[in-house]
Amino acid sequence: MAAAKESPRQKMINLMYLVFIAMLALNMSKEVLQSFGMISEQVENNNTSLSDRIVTFEKTIDINYEKEPKTWMEKKAAKDKLEIITSNFVSYLNSLPREDMPKKYVKNIKDSIVDYEIMDKPDYYDEKFFIGETYTNEGKEFIQEIVSFRNEFVELVDSLNQGKSDENYIAIINQVNDLLRPDEKVVNRDGVSMDWIRYHYEGFPEVASNTKLTVLKANALGFQAELLSAMIGGQYKINATLANFDAYVVSDQAAYFPGSKFSGKIILGKKSKNLEPQSVEINGNQLDPKESLNEDGAIILDFPVGGIGSREILGSVVFVEGDNEPITIPVKAEYEVINKPNTASVEVVGRNTLFRNYDNEVIISVPGIASNSVKLTTKENNAKITGNGNGLYRIRPSKGKKIDLVISGVFSTGDNFSDTKEFFIRRAPEPTVLFNGKETGNMAKKSIMNAAVSAIYPPAYGISQSVVITSFKVKIGARTFDCSGNRLSKAAKGYLQRAPVGFDITIKDILYAGITSGTKTLGPSITIN
């Protein structure tokens, strides 16, 4: 089998695998277990980035399909099928880890140290996948799910590659076949041939197996992203003739003020230094083609915007392609000329107040000023402000009952802008405590035994920060037991085992840590059914 050309993403994952294998050769120290968790988090972050790329690729195919249904019909159908194949496989992988095992366990609340030492035993996956020398139904299903994903994926790529011999498609097929081989034998370092699933999952700490599942997800999402990219690139290559180009006017601003100049550019499908027009006409004025082009092949526009109201840009760009007849591409766009604003728009995501000691997301905009040119400060100097340069800021107040946000910037005319918005600062609300995801109701004894105490902030407040349960008390009938962490103690479970149907169970005195630390006196009340 020909070796596949590896993408930068795949090289990164392979490097993590090398680190992974090296760590497995060591004794399972606390530091090694913690490192597994950190690797898993890094790969999961990469998975999130891959998902964002996939969404962009899918939108690109959908947009092109709307414009040219016949040309993009095959790509659209393949995209839809690929989405189903990958999402089903990723959903299955997400279902494998222990449901009640927290991804993070905060051992030190003050320093927010994430501890993965609780995942040091192999029991969970050993019991889940293996039974003596054979496999459980779940183990067999695990192998089959990987094989099914591989075969369905390769079949889809083969259908796209039929009659084309596209190198990108062939490389993707080779990658998938090389990396997903759970139905084949693996030779260990002692030269012994063994089943793939035993080689990778038998006897390993739970955190290590979870990390391997995360890497499997990364591979699946990576294959999806690479295939979508190849589909788009291949079709664009087919369509990359000047006759199929459209001209787009890209304005540097959404709106303009009287007395200012329009600034923007005309983009012709793709940037190219070699793409030089024969003539350019905008609003009845002839532009010098050479002087109008920037280094990327974009045609720069610069003219007075006119009076207040809706304005049109009309014109044409003429190209000569080889010895063929000149190709004229029409230009048409609109823009608005408005009065200068005297106030800024400030929106706290999800609410109208700021929570103390929490990174509140705030969206700030000023019409006529680019978002990356807007500055945000405070009068009281009682908050930490960070931003991404695109109008989204995070404000973390540390004290006080109110805060004055100062928004400033400079219009294209050179005029300065400044505005102040007042917001109240308040303490974050108490979280809602749940037992097995419930506040009240009936629950089977077995479910109670395995249930965990958790807490979330009310969704209406838009708070994304997690809450850690450090201890609680459980009242079973007339008896009360102290429990550390978020699970019933051994003593509580022993008493619960003997408790009859109809007994009431109350969770109380819950010690939690989130935006603030505190104790919630009364929590969920459950009845044994």
Residue 57 has pLDDT above 50, yes or no: yes
Higher pLDDT, 162 or 340: 162
Contact between residue 299 and residue 293 where contact means Cβ atoms under 8 Å apart: yes
Q: What's the pLDDT score for residue 103?
A: 46
Burial class, 48, CB count within 10 angstroms (exposed 0-12 / middle 13-18 / buried 19+): exposed
- How far apart CA 287 and CA 292 sit, in angstroms, is 7
Q: What's the pLDDT score for residue 27?
A: 46
Q: Per-residue pLDDT tens for 239-255? A: 444 454 556 666 666 55
Contact between residue 260 and residue 339 where contact means Cβ atoms under 8 Å apart: no
CA 101, distance to chain mean position in Å, is 22
Q: Using DSSP, state whether 245 is helix, strand or coil.
A: coil
Q: Per-residue pLDDT tens for 399-456? A: 888 989 888 888 877 788 888 888 999 988 889 999 988 888 898 998 899 899 999 9
For the segment 6-28, the average pLDDT, to the nearest whole number, is: 53
* Range with the poorest average pLDDT among 78-87, 89-98, 289-298, 374-383: 289-298
Q: Using DSSP, state whether 363 is helix, strand or coil.
A: strand
Q: Residue 31 — pLDDT band, cuts 50, 70, 90?
A: low
Q: What's the pLDDT score for residue 355?
A: 92
Angle at 481 between CA 475 and CA 485, to 5 degrees: 105
Angle at 197 between CA 192 and CA 202, to 5 degrees: 80
- Whole-number average pLDDT of the chain: 79
Q: Per-residue pLDDT tens for 285-313? A: 888 877 777 766 677 888 787 776 777 88
Q: What's the pLDDT score for residue 241?
A: 46
pTM, entire model: 0.42
* Range with the poorest average pLDDT among 75-79, 209-213, 335-339: 335-339
Residue 134 has pLDDT above 80, yes or no: yes
